């Protein structure tokens, strides 16, 4: 938007108009030169972001300094005698005096018409306050740079295979990338997993990240006490179990004890030496854990030593002057070589380099911009309302302005006076708006952190305040310019001599145009809000394939050191599930690797028997879940054919799977899938498994996902230390939570469990982001309709008042009340009709931007596009009805005598 | 700001004025506005980054107080497009230098007090 330097310079020149003329004459050229130099600098260093930041800085700088210069200029002339006594003054009087006069006059005029001033200022306050509050979120999430050094050089490197572009990466591939590439200053890996902390009073679960020393370096992390890891410590072969903890863990869990460094923590059953405490303000991208450990201590160490086993996230810092494209080309060459070297695991795989900022905020950009644009529209509508009020008042003030013109005030002078009044009004509105913004920010900073990724805080800081100041001034100019221009054009002679209302025809047209604009913008907002609401409704109505009511879920993970053999895990799980099923109030219970919609889960490529010759990278993928017996009963997923897993499915028996109907119909398009075989490539010992059952389709990751192929595996044949528990209860699921936890502790008292919650809550969490956008948009739409209704009412009242005489004559000549009402309504309907048509046209364009946010409803949904205008027309007509009824009650005698 | 010649009347200096004087102190030819801002930025590692309003507001006050003056640049043939003779150059006046010296020695005194109170580590030898 600001890529055009000439436009930027014009804007800056306009800003300089805030200075007194004497200052401008002296320094304008130099300031322009300064501005150009800063622009070049900003563009070179930070691109569009730098420019945006520069503008914020400029606006704040000038908004603060320009008034000071006025004060100075005023002081240096204050000795002169000022013509306070006379309301009129010659054009050549000092600009500062004029400004003072105008401001005094504006304040007096507000005081004389308090109702007008209050309504106008409140309208503006709502608009400015809402915009400022929303901008504080946009600033925190989108505009502020990431909190690490050289944020523009930070990237994520994903593993890619076919159309899947954002897989986690394989550790051994990462090592090759790191050793062979020359585009990166650093490459580091991260693997997050919770860890069990024991050895204290209670077993506890901490969030943990297994990482490398290079990750800390590229994020500019540093220790608050002690040190971070060395490169040697984070080699997989390292035998140094060391840990770095966060400052908050040190404070909360260890009471800030001074002898923390060198102490031992037992994590996942293994002692780690604490070598450092992270500085308190450090935030890791995506997620900040309680404790960092070297990557080599990741519990499933096999993942780090086997090609083809993905699971790590790779972060990188590009060398100076290396772009993402060059880094991508660099890695492409390496991944091609790897594919040749290790065809069984690496054929068809590649790397995908993405800017980190994009990965963190990319998803949120569209919804945030939608919200920002809608709140901007509300402000425009508010401006139109105030402009309307100003125009109405201009009629009343026509004589006053004409008198002033007759006494020698030039047209420019009058315009300036009126603009000052508008600006004074907008400043009052802006100040009140800050109050509203303060409340808005307080609310948003509570709600937003659960929904959007951002670092730092949402606050009314300098940037946001500069934005509020800018919006306030812009608002004053936007709603002030039309009335000022109109009023200054008034023909003074006509105004002084004729008492008629000739100028008002033009004014009515201007006001109708404003109202049409308002209504058209309303249509856009309401249509958008309705589409988002319908999406949310559609999404909430999605059948997940199971019954989420009365389901409780919780998670736990066994320490690998203690449960070091498959048989031990299976035994622990068998006993645990037995204990849980015995808990009163539990109808069904089962273990599952990942409860649907709870965030966990994996997909793997699979092959079907008899479909040989498919390239490894063209294989279809299926979602794999590892479950116990009775899982489908617990979830209420219908079993359609074959059998459930039983206690007889053991490690030594035939390998079996259950598939969903979608996969079953692929395995056996006609006939039954039971007895057919497929192989899931989920590890190095992938075995052919026989399908023994078919169950209904279920959603797993997202409610709006396209249905996945699903494969269920019994845990007895694929024991993992990580599991979740799902329990179907007879009443409120949280009521049995404690009993279920105790049941687990009866099997292993050292076992921490976490994320205990009803499944319905997981679904709510999925919908929260959309609900947030939808609610904001709906409230803006409502506000817009309210403001536009007031606008329509105002204009129609004005139109009716103007035609009082005509109405009187018509009624004197025998027109009935209903005819007069009809006439006024027809006039209103014409304005409304035109506005709605324009608004519908604009909506067709605008809702395209919404497309990515919609679910289950088209961006051009005919029902919405038909219903919204009808509803708005009805609201508009209602707003016309009151003035129309008033017109019909006109007493002909009074109306005719008026002139 | 007073135009009095008494340098003490101008103390203490605001940080911006102090840094502008520091930026001008070793440049006999004077600097133009943007160069002043850049120099201040470099001297303070970017901690003081002035906008045009702050910079020229201060320059005006400093001109009024005769701390700085517009420099007469020796006219030379224009060799670089950048070397525009419409530019105004500012240089520190004798009064400005005196005020700067007074301010700096005032600050030095503050530092030595702070050091005695052990608020600062002793200067490395």
Check residue A500 and give its pLDDT. Answer: 47
The helix/strand/coil state of A447 is: helix
Check residue A90 and give its pLDDT. Answer: 40
Check residue A82 and give its pLDDT. Answer: 36
Per the CB < 8 A criterion, the answer to whether A317 and A233 are in contact is no
Nearest-by-Cβ selection for B54 from A29, A37, A61: A61
What is the arithmetic mean of pLDDT over A13-37?
A: 86
Check residue B9 and give its pLDDT. Answer: 75
Check residue B122 and give its pLDDT. Answer: 59
**How does pLDDT run across A84-132, given as a tens digit for each residue?**
333 333 444 456 666 777 777 777 777 777 777 788 888 889 889 999 9
- In the predicted structure, residue B125 carries a pLDDT above the cut 50: no
Q: What percent of chain A has pLDDT over 70?
A: 91
Cα of A623 to nearest chain B Cα, Å: 52
The helix/strand/coil state of A744 is: helix
Residue of B nearest to A15 (CA): B53
Of A176-185, A394-403, A547-556, A674-683, minimum mean pLDDT range = A394-403
Check residue A173 and give its pLDDT. Answer: 93
Q: Mean pLDDT, chain B, as a whole number?
A: 80
Instruction: Give CA–CA dist A706/A620, Å, rounded.
Output: 14
Check residue A85 and give its pLDDT. Answer: 30
What is the arithmetic mean of pLDDT over A235-261?
A: 89
CB contact under 8 A, A58 and B51: yes
Which has more pLDDT, A203 or A708? A708
Of A415-429, A730-744, B1-15, minimum mean pLDDT range = B1-15
CB contact under 8 A, A64 and B59: no
Decide if A65 touches B, using CB distance below 8 A: yes
How many residues does the structure list for chain B? 125
- CB neighbours of residue A598 within 10 Å: 22
CB contact under 8 A, B52 and A57: no
- What secondary structure letter does DSSP report for A77? H
Check residue A277 and give its pLDDT. Answer: 94
Check residue A489 and give its pLDDT. Answer: 65
Residue of B nearest to A76 (CA): B1
CB contact under 8 A, B52 and A58: yes
Check residue A880 and give its pLDDT. Answer: 86
What is the arithmetic mean of pLDDT over A480-503?
A: 60
Question: In B, which residues are within 8 Å of A469 by CB distance?
Answer: none
What is the arithmetic mean of pLDDT over A353-370?
A: 86
- In the predicted structure, residue A857 carries a pLDDT above the cut 50: yes
Check residue A498 and give its pLDDT. Answer: 47
Split at pLDDT 50, 70, 90, the class of A631 is: very high
Burial classification of residue A243, based on how many CB atoms lie within 10 Å of its CB (0-12 exposed, 13-18 middle, 19 or more buried) = buried
What is the arithmetic mean of pLDDT over B37-48?
A: 87
For residues A667-701, b (16+ Cβ closer than 10 Å) or e, as one string?
A: bbeeeebbebbbbbebeeeeeebebbbbbbbbbbb
Cα of B37 to nearest chain A Cα, Å: 9
Decide if B57 touches A, using CB distance below 8 A: yes
List all residues 6 or more positions away from A579 whose beta carbon is below 8 Å from its beta carbon: A743, A744, A746, A747
- In the predicted structure, residue A693 carries a pLDDT above the cut 60: yes
Which has more pLDDT, B82 or A386? A386
Burial classification of residue A55, based on how many CB atoms lie within 10 Å of its CB (0-12 exposed, 13-18 middle, 19 or more buried) = buried
- CB neighbours of residue A640 within 10 Å: 13
Cα of A304 to nearest chain B Cα, Å: 43
**How does pLDDT run across A586-599, given as a tens digit for each residue?**
999 999 999 998 87
Q: Mean pLDDT, chain A, as a whole number?
A: 83
Which has more pLDDT, A7 or B81? A7
Of A112-126, A226-240, A351-365, A830-844, minimum mean pLDDT range = A112-126
Decide if A73 touches B, using CB distance below 8 A: no
Cα of A148 to nearest chain B Cα, Å: 17
Decide if B104 touches A, using CB distance below 8 A: no
CB contact under 8 A, A37 and B34: yes
Decide if A37 touches B, using CB distance below 8 A: yes
User: How many contacts (CB atoms, under 8 Å) link A and B?
Assistant: 52
Residue of B nearest to A32 (CA): B52
- In the predicted structure, residue A660 carries a pLDDT above the cut 90: yes
- In the predicted structure, residue A561 carries a pLDDT above the cut 90: no
What is the arithmetic mean of pLDDT over B74-92?
A: 63
Residue of B nearest to A16 (CA): B53
Check residue A697 and give its pLDDT. Answer: 94
Split at pLDDT 50, 70, 90, the class of A428 is: confident
Instruction: Give CA–CA dist A390/A419, Å, rounded.
Output: 11
Check residue B51 and give its pLDDT. Answer: 87
- What secondary structure letter does DSSP report for B7? G
Decide if B87 touches A, using CB distance below 8 A: yes
Decide if B81 touches A, using CB distance below 8 A: no
- In the predicted structure, residue B3 carries a pLDDT above the cut 60: no
Split at pLDDT 50, 70, 90, the class of A771 is: confident
Check residue A81 and give its pLDDT. Answer: 35
Decide if B70 touches A, using CB distance below 8 A: no
CB contact under 8 A, A33 and B54: no
What is the arithmetic mean of pLDDT over A786-796?
A: 83
Check residue A79 and give its pLDDT. Answer: 36
């Amino acid at each position: 938007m600001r890529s055009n330097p000439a436009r930027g310079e014009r804007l800056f020149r306009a800003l300089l108009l805030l200075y007194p003329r004497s200052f401008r004459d002296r320094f304008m050229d130099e300031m322009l030169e300064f501005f150009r130099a800063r622009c070049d600098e900003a563009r070179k260093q930070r691109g569009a972001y730098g420019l945006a930041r520069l503008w914020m800085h400029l606006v704040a700088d000038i908004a603060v300094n320009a008034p000071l210069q006025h004060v100075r200029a005023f002081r240096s002339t204050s000795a002169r005698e000022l013509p306070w006594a006379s309301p009129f003054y010659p054009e050549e009087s000092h600009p500062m005096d004029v400004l003072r006069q105008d401001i005094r006059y504006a304040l007096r005029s507000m005081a004389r018409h308090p109702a007008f001033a209050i309504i106008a200022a409140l309208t503006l306050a709502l608009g400015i306050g809402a915009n400022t509050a929303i901008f504080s979120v946009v600033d925190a999430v989108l505009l502020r740079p990431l909190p690490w050094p050289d944020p523009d050089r930070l990237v994520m490197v994903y593993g890619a295979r076919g159309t899947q572009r954002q897989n986690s990466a394989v550790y051994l591939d990462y090592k090759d990338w790191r050793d062979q590439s020359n585009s990166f200053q650093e490459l580091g890996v991260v693997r997050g997993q919770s860890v069990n902390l024991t050895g204290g009073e209670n077993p506890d679960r901490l969030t943990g990240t297994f990482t490398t020393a290079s990750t800390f370096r590229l994020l500019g992390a540093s220790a608050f006490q002690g040190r971070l890891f060395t490169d040697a410590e984070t080699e997989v072969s390292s035998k140094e179990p060391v840990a770095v903890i966060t400052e908050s863990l040190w404070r909360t869990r260890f009471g800030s004890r001074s002898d923390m460094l060198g102490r031992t923590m037992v994590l996942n059953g293994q002692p780690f030496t604490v070598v450092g405490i992270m500085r308190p303000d450090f935030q890791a991208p995506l997620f900040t854990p309680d404790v960092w450990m070297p990557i080599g201590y990741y519990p499933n160490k096999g993942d780090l030593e086997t090609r083809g086993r993905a699971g790590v996230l790779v972060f990188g810092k590009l060398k100076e002057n290396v772009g993402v494209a060059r880094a991508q080309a660099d890695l492409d060459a390496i991944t091609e070589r790897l594919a040749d070297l290790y065809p069984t695991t690496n054929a068809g795989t590649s790397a995908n380099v993405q800017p980190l900022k994009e990965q963190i905020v990319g998803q949120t950009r569209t919804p945030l911009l939608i919200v920002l644009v809608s709140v901007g529209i509300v402000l425009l509508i508010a401006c139109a309302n105030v402009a309307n009020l100003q125009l109405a008042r201009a009629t009343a003030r026509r004589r006053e302005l004409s008198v002033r013109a007759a006494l020698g005030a030039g047209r420019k002078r009058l315009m300036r006076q009126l603009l000052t009044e508008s600006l004074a009004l907008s400043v009052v509105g802006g100040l009140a708006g800050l109050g509203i913004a303060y409340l808005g920010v307080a609310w948003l900073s509570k709600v937003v952190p659960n929904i959007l990724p951002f670092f730092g805080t949402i606050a009314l800081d300098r940037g946001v305040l500069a934005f509020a100041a800018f919006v306030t001034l812009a608002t004053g100019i936007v709603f002030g310019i039309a009335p000022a221009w109109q009023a200054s054009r008034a023909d003074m002679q006509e105004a002084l001599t004729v008492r008629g209302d000739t100028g008002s025809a033009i004014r009515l047209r201007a006001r109708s145009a404003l109202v049409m604009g308002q209504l058209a913008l309303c249509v856009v907002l309401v249509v958008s809000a309705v589409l988002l609401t319908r999406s949310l409704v559609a999404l909430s109505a999605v059948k997940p394939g199971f019954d989420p009511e009365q389901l409780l879920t919780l998670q736990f993970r066994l320490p690998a050191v203690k449960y070091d053999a498959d048989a031990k895990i299976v035994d622990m799980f068998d006993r645990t599930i037995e204990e849980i099923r015995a808990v009163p109030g539990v109808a069904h219970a089962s273990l599952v690797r990942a409860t649907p919609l709870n965030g966990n889960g994996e997909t793997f490529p699979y092959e079907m028997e008899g479909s040989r010759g498919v390239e490894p990278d063209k294989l279809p993928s299926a979602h794999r879940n590892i479950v116990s017996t009775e899982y489908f009963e617990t979830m209420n997923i219908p079993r359609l054919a074959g059998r459930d897993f039983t206690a007889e499915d053991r490690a030594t028996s035939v390998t079996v799977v259950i598939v969903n109907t979608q996969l079953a119909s692929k395995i056996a398009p006609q006939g039954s899938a039971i007895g057919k075989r497929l192989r899931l490539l989920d590890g190095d010992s992938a075995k052919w498994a026989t399908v023994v059952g078919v169950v209904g389709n279920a959603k797993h990751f997202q409610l709006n996902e396209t249905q996945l192929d699903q494969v269920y595996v019994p845990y007895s044949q694929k024991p993992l230390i990580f599991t979740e528990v799902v329990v179907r209860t007879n009443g409120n699921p949280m009521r049995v939570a404690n009993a279920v936890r105790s049941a687990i502790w009866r099997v292993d008292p050292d076992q921490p469990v976490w994320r205990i919650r009803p499944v319905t809550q997981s679904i709510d969490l999925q919908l929260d982001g959309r609900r947030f956008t939808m609610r904001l948009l709906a409230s803006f739409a409502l506000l817009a309709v309210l403001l536009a209704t007031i606008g329509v009412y105002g204009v129609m009242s004005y139109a009716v008042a103007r035609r009082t005489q005509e109405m009187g004559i018509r009624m004197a000549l025998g027109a009935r009340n209903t005819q007069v009402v009809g006439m006024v309504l027809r006039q209103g309907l014409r304005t409304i009709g035109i506005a709605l048509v324009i608004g519908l046209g604009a909506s067709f364009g605008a809702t395209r931007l919404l497309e990515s946010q919609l679910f289950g409803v088209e961006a051009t949904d005919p029902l919405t596009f038909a219903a919204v205008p009808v509803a708005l027309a009805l609201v508009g007509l209602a707003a016309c009805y009151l003035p129309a009824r008033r017109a019909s009650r006109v007493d002909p005698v009074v109306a005719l005598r008026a002139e | 700001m007073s135009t009095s010649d008494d340098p003490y009347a101008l103390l203490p200096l605001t940080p911006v004025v102090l840094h502008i004087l520091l930026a001008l102190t070793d440049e006999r030819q004077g600097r133009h506005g943007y160069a002043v801002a850049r120099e201040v930025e470099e001297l303070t590692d970017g901690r003081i980054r002035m906008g045009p309003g702050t910079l020229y507001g201060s320059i005006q006050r400093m001109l009024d107080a005769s701390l700085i003056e517009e420099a007469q640049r020796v006219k030379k043939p224009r060799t670089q497009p950048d070397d525009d003779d419409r530019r105004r150059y500012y240089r520190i006046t004798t009064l400005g230098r005196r005020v700067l010296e007074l301010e700096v020695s005032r600050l030095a005194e503050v530092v030595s007090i702070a050091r005695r109170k052990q608020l600062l580590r002793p200067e490395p030898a």
